[in-house]
């Protein structure tokens, strides 16, 4: 194939990519091709310059709505790394007075704000509106130093004082931004005001015209409700909304969305659409399939986590461009206890431990049913609840002297939905005078879970909430005085989250502390004695070897609850176990039957957008006691942690396009490549390995010595680019982060 033919092929692809970003390559008021410009006097070097030398050429010029040159696009054939065309493209951009440059070979796209920073890989071209906004921002934006860090702010109509560490965090972000850092990692313990802090910083970014469009990503509905509530309270002068599955996209300043929703919709947006992307609980959101969402957006990325620095994985630090073990800003939980910003805790003494001495479970894959059967029975479940109840009633006034009704709010964490149902039943049997209202199960399958949560927070009864995972994050009830662990926990992150449900202060009840009832010796496993509130891993009984890096499918209540390993779905308040295939078949039958009668299912079939109210109505209608069809259960049945309700309806109706394996790999590869910040020649080399991985399903070192990679001298080039151990590491990372996800 000739060079011209290869470049022509690349331009066909580039034309299509421009269309996806909203450009019409055939409309000369938007896109000009084969553009020429005369070299500016300042660009002419000393020496003999011919007329031909004075003419500069570029493949495309992208125009503003007023006809001004916004950006040039330099196209190269696939065999050429487009980054190498920088020196060719810049003089033309300067001569055309274009603000930006794109460099592309149809497979890789670099965006270059050439007056301010170096070119960087992006996932898509930017739209006309994106480029116009960015150009205007450059002209209008103010230094963050001119926007004072607030001393107070209004929250729920009350004046709150900005705490010292919150102000320090905002100033640290300012400093990093002025130095050109585009990713920022914040570690703050649960209950220290991460959401308020980030809303205050967003207000400053908006005021300084550093940002106009913001995406706030969370991975649970409770966190979404918390985020949209804070945004609409603190940033009430800025437009905002919660983007839900199937709901029409709105052009507002702040978008709150579940990662699961954005997984199916991020390609509706160009890479330049958002200026800031917030990832709450970011230690969970940058792995696996989620990385495609975060890496799609060429934005200031801010990660929030309550996980202590020692337990944040290496990939999180790499993504946010931090040194390992050093977030950009960290506020130790020890300092929060000392300053009185969080309530301390103690462990209940003298309780029966339910795991026999010497039991070794670390490293094994436990089906929840087998785990429950192995470690609990009716007698032990009753004994746990009796001991908790007796101790709670005896100590609650010591924890909160102004608590009027005993024993104060409590959360019980069970192994499974079925286990939660049993524990709740035994608690209610201990208090028959409350006629079954003393304790309530709170899972995704109960009718109107949101209302039950509100009742728990606002009313005297239920006094005890019994759950599995639903209350581990995004659930705030300051009055909680008791945390009951009726399960084994192997994950330090999950342990921190469960413990964090009790740390919020509650001066109105005089809360001095909360009590943890740990029936499975989790605090010994993590060497947590209540005095040194950082946790470190241990063996099954405290001490022994550290847990090390997290493993797939070993932790109860983590890693999407064994999406692959478990063959059943727990449905209903009692945790009935239904085979995944049976549950999926029943779902598809019901949705097809309802197509004739349900106007909302018809709207989904016709791919018409739903309103937020319609989406909520549809979710309530499907989550009935007959079937318990809801997103949590459907994700488990389909083994799709990124699915949402509308996606599953379309899958049942046969209208959802399932990505081919090659499409999944290409998408994963592009997201991974953008996050790694490789040098151009390294990225070009890795494209070769990606093509091999598409065919083989993974890449092995031996593949470098076999055709077709050996024809390109892949082994020698790889060692030159990465070093021997570096090449092995990058291949292992590709297999884990790219090819395994599409297996």
What's the pTM value of the predicted model, to 2 decimals? 0.80
Q: Given this model, what pLDDT does residue 479 score?
A: 97
Whether residues 321 and 375 share a domain: the answer is no
Question: How many domains does the chain fold into?
Answer: 5
Mean pLDDT of 56-62: 94
Q: How confident is the model at residue 361 (pLDDT cuts 50, 70, 90)?
A: very low
With 90 as the cut, is the pLDDT of residue 366 above it? no
Question: Taking a C-beta distance cutoff of 8 angstroms, is the pair 718, 727 a contact?
Answer: yes
Which of 49-63, 330-344, 374-388, 441-455 is least confident? Answer: 49-63
Q: What percent of the chain has pLDDT over 90?
A: 49
Task: Examine residue 542 and state whether it is found in any structural domain, yes or no.
Answer: no
Which of 52-66, 162-176, 350-364 is least confident? Answer: 350-364
Whether residues 355 and 247 share a domain: the answer is no
**β-strands 254-258, 214-218: how paired?**
parallel
Structural domain boundaries enclosing 604: 567-653
Q: Among the residues of 645-713, which ranges form H helices?
A: 645-653, 661-676, 680-696
Domain boundary among the residues 609, 635, 653 is at 653
Instruction: Give dist(CA 651, CA 638) in Å, integer.
Output: 10
Q: How confident is the model at residue 378 (pLDDT cuts 50, 70, 90)?
A: confident
Question: Which element (helix H / strand E) includes 379?
Answer: helix 378-399
Whether residues 493 and 371 share a domain: the answer is yes
Whether residues 303 and 319 share a domain: the answer is yes
The torsion angles phi and psi of 240, rounded to 5 degrees, stand at -155, 160
Q: Given this model, what pLDDT does residue 349 score?
A: 84
Task: Examine residue 714 and state whether it is found in any structural domain, yes or no.
Answer: yes
With 80 as the cut, is the pLDDT of residue 383 above it? yes
Q: Given this model, what pLDDT does residue 423 score?
A: 95
Residue 561 has, within 13 A of its CA and on its CB side, a CA count of 20
Task: Examine residue 139 and state whether it is found in any structural domain, yes or no.
Answer: no
Q: Given this model, what pLDDT does residue 581 score?
A: 86
Domain boundary among the residues 287, 318, 338 is at 338
Which residues partner with 31 through β-bridges? 62
Task: Examine residue 88 and state whether it is found in any structural domain, yes or no.
Answer: yes
With 60 as the cut, is the pLDDT of residue 45 above it? no
Whether residues 165 and 209 share a domain: the answer is yes
With 90 as the cut, is the pLDDT of residue 170 above it? yes
Q: How confident is the model at residue 697 (pLDDT cuts 50, 70, 90)?
A: confident
For the chain, give the mean pLDDT: 85
- CATH number of the domain enclosing 76: 3.90.1570.30
Whether residues 282 and 369 share a domain: the answer is no
Task: Examine residue 133 and state whether it is found in any structural domain, yes or no.
Answer: no
- CATH number of the domain enclosing 509: 3.40.50.300
Which of 248-257, 473-482, 687-696 is least confident? Answer: 687-696
DSSP 609: P
Residues 6+ apart with CB under 8 A from 198: 186, 278, 302, 304
Q: Given this model, what pLDDT does residue 695 score?
A: 78
Which residues partner with 72 through β-bridges? 61, 101
Q: Given this model, what pLDDT does residue 559 score?
A: 38
Whether residues 377 and 416 share a domain: the answer is yes
More confident residue, 561 or 432: 432
Instruction: Give dist(CA 258, CA 235) in Å, integer.
Output: 20
The angle formed by the CA atoms of residues 616, 617 and 623, to the nearest 5 degrees, is: 90
With 70 as the cut, is the pLDDT of residue 133 above it? yes
Domain boundary among the residues 296, 315, 338 is at 338
Region for residue 562 given its phi and psi (left: phi exceeds 0; alpha: psi -120 to 50; beta: otherwise): left
Of 704, 661, 667, the C-alpha closest to 685 is: 704
Helix, strand or coil for residue 200? helix
The torsion angles phi and psi of 632, rounded to 5 degrees, stand at -60, -50
- pLDDT tens sequence across 548-595: 333 332 233 333 334 445 778 888 877 788 888 899 899 999 999 988
- pLDDT tens sequence across 49-58: 555 557 889 9
Whether residues 334 and 349 share a domain: the answer is no
With 70 as the cut, is the pLDDT of residue 360 above it? no
Task: Examine residue 537 and state whether it is found in any structural domain, yes or no.
Answer: no
Exposure letters 178-188 (e unless 16+ CB within 10 A, then b): eeeeebbbbbb
Locate the DSSP E strands across 175-248. 183-187, 214-218, 240-243
The DSSP-derived string for 304-351 is EE-S-GGGS-HHHHHHTT--TT--SEE--HHHHHHTTSS--EEEPSSP
Task: Output the CA torsion sign for 743, 660, 693, 83.
Answer: negative
Whether residues 352 and 394 share a domain: the answer is yes
Mean pLDDT of 634-640: 79
Instruction: Give dist(CA 412, CA 350) in Å, integer.
Output: 18
Instruction: Give dist(CA 547, CA 675) in Å, integer.
Output: 27
Whether residues 391 and 314 share a domain: the answer is no
Whether residues 632 and 697 share a domain: the answer is no
- pLDDT tens sequence across 701-740: 888 988 888 888 889 999 999 998 889 888 888 887 777 6
Q: How confident is the model at residue 292 (pLDDT cuts 50, 70, 90)?
A: confident
Q: Given this model, what pLDDT does residue 375 score?
A: 63
Other C-beta atoms within 10 Å of 567: how many? Answer: 11
Whether residues 219 and 282 share a domain: the answer is yes
Q: Given this model, what pLDDT does residue 114 score?
A: 95
Task: Examine residue 114 and state whether it is found in any structural domain, yes or no.
Answer: yes
Question: Taking a C-beta distance cutoff of 8 angstroms, is the pair 629, 603 a contact?
Answer: no
With 50 as the cut, is the pLDDT of residue 376 above it? yes
Instruction: Give dist(CA 241, CA 263) in Å, integer.
Output: 18
Three-state SS across 42-75? Answer: HHCCCCCCCHHHHEEEEEEEEECCCCCEEEEEEE
Task: Examine residue 138 and state whether it is found in any structural domain, yes or no.
Answer: no
Of 411, 419, 425, 535, the C-alpha closest to 470 is: 411
The DSSP-derived string for 146-184 is GSPPPSEEEETTEEEEPPHHHHHHHHHHHHHHHTT--EE
Mean pLDDT of 362-366: 48
């Amino acid at each position: 194939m000739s060079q011209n033919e290869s470049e022509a092929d690349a331009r066909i692809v580039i034309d299509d990519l421009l269309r996806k970003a909203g450009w019409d390559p055939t409309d000369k008021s938007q896109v000009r091709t084969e553009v020429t410009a005369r070299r500016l006097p300042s660009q002419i070097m000393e020496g003999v310059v011919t007329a031909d030398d004075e003419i500069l050429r570029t493949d495309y010029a992208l125009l503003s709505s007023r006809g001004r040159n916004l950006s040039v696009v330099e196209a190269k054939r696939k065999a050429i790394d487009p980054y190498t065309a920088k020196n060719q493209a810049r003089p033309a951009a300067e001569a055309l007075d274009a603000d930006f440059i794109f460099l592309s070979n149809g497979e890789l796209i670099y965006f270059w704000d050439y007056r301010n920073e170096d070119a960087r890989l992006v996932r898509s071209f930017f739209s006309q509106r994106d480029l116009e906004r960015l150009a205007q921002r450059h002209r209008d934006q103010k230094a963050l130093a001119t926007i004072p860090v607030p001393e107070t702010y209004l929250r729920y109509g009350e004046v709150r004082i900005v705490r010292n560490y919150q102000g320090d965090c905002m100033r640290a972000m300012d400093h990093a931004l002025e130095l050109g850092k585009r990713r920022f990692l914040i570690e703050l313990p649960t209950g220290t005001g991460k959401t308020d802090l980030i809303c205050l910083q967003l207000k400053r970014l908006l005021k300084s015209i550093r940002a106009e469009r913001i995406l706030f990503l969370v991975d649970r509905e409770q966190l979404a409700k918390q985020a949209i509530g804070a945004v609409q309270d603190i940033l009430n002068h800025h437009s905002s909304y919660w983007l839900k599955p199937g709901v029409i996209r709105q052009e507002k300043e702040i978008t709150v969305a579940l990662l699961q929703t954005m997984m199916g919709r991020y390609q509706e947006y160009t890479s330049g659409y958002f200026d800031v992307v917030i990832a709450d609980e970011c230690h969970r959101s940058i792995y696996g399939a989620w990385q495609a969402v975060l890496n799609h957006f060429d934005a200031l990325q801010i990660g929030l986590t309550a996980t202590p620095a020692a337990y944040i994985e290496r990939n999180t630090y790499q993504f946010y461009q931090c040194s390992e073990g050093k977030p950009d800003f960290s506020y130790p939980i020890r300092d929060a206890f000392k300053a009185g910003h969080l309530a301390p805790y103690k462990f209940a003494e003298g309780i029966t431990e339910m795991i026999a001495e010497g039991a070794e479970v670390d490293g094994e894959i436990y089906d929840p049913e087998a785990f429950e059967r192995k470690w609990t029975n009716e007698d032990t479940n009753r004994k746990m609840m009796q001991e908790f109840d007796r101790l709670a009633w005896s100590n609650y006034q010591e924890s909160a002297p102004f608590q009027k009704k005993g024993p104060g709010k409590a959360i019980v964490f069970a192994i499974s939905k079925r286990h939660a149902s049993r524990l709740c039943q035994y608690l209610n049997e201990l208090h028959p005078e409350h006629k079954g209202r003393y304790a309530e199960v709170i899972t995704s399958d109960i009718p109107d879970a949101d209302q039950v949560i509100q009742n728990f927070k606002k009313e005297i009864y239920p006094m005890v909430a019994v759950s599995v995972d639903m209350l581990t994050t995004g659930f705030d009830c300051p009055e909680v005085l008791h945390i009951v662990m009726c399960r084994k926990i192997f994950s330090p992150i999950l342990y921190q989250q469960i413990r964090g449900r009790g740390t919020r202060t509650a001066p109105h009840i005089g809360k001095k502390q909360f009590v943890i009832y740990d029936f499975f010796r989790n605090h010994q496993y993590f060497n947590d004695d209540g005095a040194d509130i950082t946790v470190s891993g241990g063996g099954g009984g405290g001490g022994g070897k550290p847990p090390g890096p997290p493993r797939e499918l070993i932790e109860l209540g983590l890693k999407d609850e064994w999406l692959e390993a478990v063959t059943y779905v727990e449905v209903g308040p009692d945790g009935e176990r239904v085979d995944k295939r049976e549950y999926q078949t029943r779902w598809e039958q019901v949705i097809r039957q309802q197509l004739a009668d349900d106007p909302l299912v018809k709207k989904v079939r016709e791919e018409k957008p739903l309103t937020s109210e319609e989406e909520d109505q549809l979710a309530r209608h499907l989550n009935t006691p007959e079937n318990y069809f809801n997103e949590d259960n459907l994700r488990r049945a389909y083994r799709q942690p990124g699915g949402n309700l509308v996606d599953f309806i379309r899958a049942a109706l046969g209208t959802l396009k399932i990505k081919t394996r090659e499409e999944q790999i290409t998408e994963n590869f592009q997201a991974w490549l953008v996050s790694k910040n490789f040098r151009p020649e390294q990225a070009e080399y890795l494209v070769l390995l990606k093509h091999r991985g598409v065919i083989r399903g993974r890449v092995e070192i031996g593949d470098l010595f076999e055709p077709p990679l050996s024809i390109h001298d892949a082994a020698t080039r790889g060692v030159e680019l990465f070093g021997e151990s570096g090449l092995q590491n990058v291949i292992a990372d590709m297999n884990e982060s790219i090819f395994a996800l599409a297996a």
